[in-house]
Every structure is written in structure tokens, then in C-alpha cells.
Amino acid sequence: MRNMVPSPGATVQDDPVALAEIELIGELMIAASTAAEERLSFARIDEVLEVDRTAVPCANC
């Protein structure tokens, strides 16, 4: 197994995907800390992450 070593001088600021993931996790943490219930529902998680779960017709199905 190879060890993954970051490039010298690489930071999280160089990785836009990592920054986006950190921001999304932060939003979930804020929502969870202010929620009345013990766990966030799937619907609330989708709302926080701005996910639209409406069915989209499949053209190739």
C-alpha cells in the first residue's frame, strides 16, 4: 500500500473540492447544533445542502 503524501507546499487552499466539502460540513454542523431533534432528517440534510430530490425523467431508460 502506498502512502499518500501531499505535494511540498500544497495547502487546502489549493484544493477547491476540499474547500467546498469543508463548507458543506460546516453548514451541516450548524444545522445539527440548532436542530430540536436528535438527528437531522434526510429532508433537512437535503435542504441544508440545497439538494433537489425531484425525479428527473430518464431519456435513455
Write the pLDDT tens digit of every residue in 9-18. Answer: 667 677 889 8
Phi then psi for residue 16, to 5 deg, are -65, -30
Instruction: Summarize pLDDT for 23-33 with one digit per residue, the tens.
Output: 999 999 999 99
φ, ψ of residue 11 to 5 degrees: the values are: -130, 170
Cα angle 12, 15, 21; round to 5: 85
Grid cell 438527528 is found at 39
> Residue 4's pLDDT band (boundaries 50, 70, 90)?
low
Q: Is the pTM of this model over 0.85?
A: no
C-alpha span between 37 and 43 (Å, rounded) = 13
